[in-house]
Amino acid sequence: MPSKILYVEDNPQNMRLVRKILTAAGYQVIEAVDGLSGIATAASQMPDLILMDVNLPDINGLEATSRMKASPELATIPVIALTANAMHGDRENCLAAGCNGYLAKPVMKNELLNTIALFLKTASEAHKQTETKVAAG
Ligand code: MN
Spatial separation of the C-alpha atoms in residues 15 and 6, rounded to whole Å: 11
Does the pTM of the predicted model rise above 0.95?
Answer: no
Look up residue 86 and give its DSSP letter: -
Residues 6+ apart with CB under 8 A from 44: none
**What's the CATH number for 4-136?**
3.40.50.2300
- Ligand 1 midpoint to CA 101 (Å): 17
> Ligand 1 being an ion, which residues bring their Cβ within 5 A of it?
10, 53, 55
- Ligand 1 midpoint to CA 24 (Å): 23
- Ligand 1 midpoint to CA 15 (Å): 10
- Ligand 1 midpoint to CA 34 (Å): 9
Residues 6+ apart with CB under 8 A from 90: 83, 102
- Ligand 1 midpoint to CA 9 (Å): 6
Domain ranges of the chain: 4-136
* pLDDT the model gives residue 123: 80
- Ligand 1 midpoint to CA 129 (Å): 36
Mean pLDDT for back-to-back runs of 10 residues, the chain (137 residues): 96 97 98 98 98 95 97 96 78 91 92 96 80 67
